[in-house]
């Protein structure tokens, strides 16, 4: 799901409007925003970085200067993440019927604590595509933990471009494991794994 730069390599990329860039390396790397041939440092250091939305109206040009001792991984999108970075953000929550957003899926763990039944509709393939840097065959594994009442948390297909294979219902007081896979442009399949 992430692109990578070899040691000391550089790349200039375009970050679409309303998107951000995320990066990770165990060695020093630098990310610069370029406006009218002027470079402004967004980040310089080792570890994980996720920018704010760079522009709400136009694409932004960004230069990534790779790590000095290790590869640099990066991803661009509305919910950009670098899965190679071994970090678990605070789990997302969906306690009412609604959209199971790309950001929730990319977060790795979704909890539901409500006693009511929850129908969680996945984002469309186009929205998933815009949320991260994917090539066909890229996937993200994630889990649902349903601690609420006696009702199920049910993962359902999107209106277009995102289907579900296997049982989407996660019973109360249990958890379910899923894999979301890009199969074509703007097309994703979420598989129930366990």
Q: Same domain, yes or no, for 25 and 64?
A: yes
82 located within any domain: no
Q: Same domain, yes or no, for 100 and 188?
A: yes
Confidence at 87, pLDDT banded by 50, 70, 90? low
Rg (CA), the chain: 18
pLDDT mean over 122-127 = 96
Strand partners, 26: none
Question: d(Cα 153, Cα 112) in Å, to the nearest integer?
Answer: 7
145 located within any domain: yes
What value does the mean pLDDT of the chain take?
92
86 located within any domain: no
> What is residue 68's predicted lDDT score, i.e. its pLDDT?
86
pLDDT single digits (tens) 73-82: 999 998 888 8
122 located within any domain: yes
> What is residue 2's predicted lDDT score, i.e. its pLDDT?
84
Extract the tokens encoding 1: 């799901």
pLDDT single digits (tens) 47-68: 889 999 998 888 999 999 998 8
Q: Same domain, yes or no, for 101 and 166?
A: yes
Question: What is the percent of the chain where pLDDT is above 70?
Answer: 97
pLDDT mean over 117-122 = 97
Extract the tokens encoding 185: 């442009």
83 located within any domain: no
Q: Same domain, yes or no, for 109 and 184?
A: yes
What's the total number of domains in the chain? 2
85 located within any domain: no
Extract the tokens encoding 30: 């630098």
110 located within any domain: yes
Strand partners, 20: 77
Q: Same domain, yes or no, for 40 and 117?
A: no
* pLDDT over 90 (residue 131): no
> What is residue 1's predicted lDDT score, i.e. its pLDDT?
66
Q: Same domain, yes or no, for 67 and 113?
A: no
177 located within any domain: yes
Question: d(Cα 81, Cα 96) in Å, to the nearest integer?
Answer: 25
Q: Same domain, yes or no, for 65 and 112?
A: no
> What is residue 88's predicted lDDT score, i.e. its pLDDT?
67
Q: Same domain, yes or no, for 60 and 150?
A: no
Q: Same domain, yes or no, for 96 and 187?
A: yes
> What is residue 188's predicted lDDT score, i.e. its pLDDT?
97
Extract the tokens encoding 49: 């970085």
Q: Same domain, yes or no, for 96 and 177?
A: yes
CATH of the domain at 9: 2.60.120
pLDDT single digits (tens) 147-188: 987 899 999 999 999 999 999 999 999 999 999 999 999 999
Question: d(Cα 154, Cα 144) in Å, to the nearest integer?
Answer: 10
Domain with 100, as residue range(s), is: 92-192
Instruction: Count Cβ atoms below 10 Å from residue 136 Cβ, excluding itself.
Output: 10
pLDDT mean over 16-40 = 93
Query: Is the overall model pTM greater than 0.85, yes or no?
Result: no
Q: Same domain, yes or no, for 7 and 72?
A: yes
């Amino acid at each position: 799901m992430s692109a990578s730069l070899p040691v000391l390599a550089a790349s200039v990329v375009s970050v679409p409007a309303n998107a951000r860039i995320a990066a990770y390396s165990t060695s020093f790397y630098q990310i610069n925003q370029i406006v009218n041939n002027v470079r402004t440092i967004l980040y310089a250091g080792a570890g994980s970085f996720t920018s704010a939305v760079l522009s709400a109206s136009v694409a932004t040009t960004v230069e990534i200067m790779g790590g000095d001792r290790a590869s640099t991984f990066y991803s661009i999108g509305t919910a950009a993440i670098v899965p190679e970075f071994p970090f678990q953000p605070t789990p997302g929550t969906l306690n009412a019927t609604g959209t199971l957003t790309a950001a929730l899926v990319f977060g790795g763990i979704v909890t539901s604590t409500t006693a009511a039944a929850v129908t969680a509709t996945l984002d469309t393939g186009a929205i998933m595509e815009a949320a991260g840097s994917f090539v066909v065959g890229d996937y993200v594994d994630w889990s649902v933990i349903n601690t609420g009442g006696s009702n199920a948390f049910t993962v359902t297909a999107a209106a277009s471009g995102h289907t579900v294979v296997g049982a989407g219902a996660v019973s109360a007081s249990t958890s379910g494991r899923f894999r979301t896979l890009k199969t074509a442009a703007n097309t994703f399949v979420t598989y129930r794994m366990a």
